[in-house]
Amino acid sequence: MSNIKKTSTKRQSEIVSAESTTAINEKLLGKNPSKPMKKIEIKNVHCWYGDFHVLRDIEMAVDPNTVTALIGPSGCGKTTFLRIFNRMNDLIEGFRLEGEVMIDKKDIFSRELRVNELRKKVGMVFQKPNPFPKSIFENVAYGLRVNGITNKKIIAETVEHSLKQSALWGEVKDKLHKNALGLSGGQQQRLCIARAIAIEPSIILMDEPTSALDPISNSKIEELIYDLKQKYTILIVTHNMQQAARVSDRTAFFYLGDLVEFDETKTIFTNPKNEKTQNYITGRFG
């Protein structure tokens, strides 16, 4: 069952990579029955912090196994937008959301979906590396433990696998039981990625994951994002236009709570339709 699912996802991603052709076909042939299932779909979404209307009428659909970059000046609502999908905003007093948010065609606010189940499926990497003040091993194992996995062998294997996937294994395999706070910033951030993927989410949210890091760590993490795309759907907030251009398939430009433009990254950077987008990416403000 899961096998079939996997291959079909893979096939879908191939179709996705031929996005523009699909789009043309769709226009010519009308609704295409083999159209890939959207990983994320949100419609008419509004968010408030108290009276402050922070996101207005957002609509977006994200294909599986793609990287979507979220750009825009500070305070335009990128972080708020990102944190809709694992319902982290719900922890903030006074936060309110209206609209429809679907992941895998399921409403994430429905009563049947428990919020910890959702967060297992939607991992998150924060702006500042925030490992727990515990051992490297325990950092990665934590997600497994809180989700009820107790088998030591499975935990050890998953920790190793996750650290390999996040390209950190070689650097830490001899000090798994040392405190994670002893790692460099870049290593800590990759540890946070390992921690997120250990519980096998299908979506990873990244909020400016490299903004606190040096250039070498930055490029390591960008490479990693490229690899992770094979298995995960990634949403990444970034202030760095080159980063958005390098890692993402599609880019969304936010401005003062509006989703101004959402298109193929190439289009956004070479031929944006909106003047504000043009001004932002050419660095005229932001």
Partner 1 sequence: MNNEQVKTLKNNAFKIWAIIATSIGLIMLAVLLIKIGMDGLHRLSFDFFTALPSRRPEQAGILTALVGTLWVMVTTAVFAIPIGIGAGIYLEEYARKGWWSSFLEINISNLAGVPSIIYGLLGLEIFVRTLHLGQSILSGSLTLSLLILPIVIVSTREAIKTVPSTMREASYALGASKWQTIWMQMLPAASGGIMTGIILALSRAIGETAPLIVVGALMYVPFVPKSVFDSFTVLPIQIYNWVSRPQAGFIINAAAAIIVLMLITILMNGAAVILRNRWQNRVKW
> Token pair for residue 247?
């890692």
Rounded distance between C-alpha atoms, residue 264 and residue 103, angstroms:
21
Shortest Å distance, C-beta 122 to partner 1: 8
- Which positions touch ligand ADP (CB under 6 A)? 49, 52, 54, 72, 74-80, 92
Decide whether 33 or 148 has the Cβ nearer to partner 1.
148
Helix (H, G, I), strand (E, B) or coil at 43: strand
Task: Quote the CA–CA distance of 242 and 165 in Å, as a whole number.
Answer: 24
Q: Does 132 bind partner 1 (CB under 8 A)?
A: yes
In angstroms, rounded to a whole number, what is the distance separating the alpha carbons of residues 279 and 286? Answer: 9
Q: Which of 146, 154, 156, 216 binds partner 1 (CB under 8 A)?
A: 146
CB neighbour list of residue 166: distance below 8 Å, 6 or more residues apart:
190, 191, 193, 194, 197, 224
**Interface with partner 1 (CB under 8 A), residue from 62, 82, 88, 260:** 88
Nearer to ligand ADP by C-beta: 93 or 112?
A: 93
Q: Which of 12, 209, 244 is nearest to 128 (CA)?
A: 209
122 vs 260 by CB, closer to partner 1? 122
Q: Which of 86, 166, 217, 248 binds partner 1 (CB under 8 A)?
A: 86
Q: Which 176-205 residues touch partner 1, going by CB under 8 A?
A: 179, 181, 192, 195-196, 199
Q: How far apart are CA 106 and CA 242, in angstroms?
A: 34
Residues of this chain that bind partner 1 (CB under 8 A): 86, 88, 91, 93, 116-117, 119-120, 123-124, 126, 128, 130-134, 142-143, 145-147, 179, 181, 192, 195-196, 199
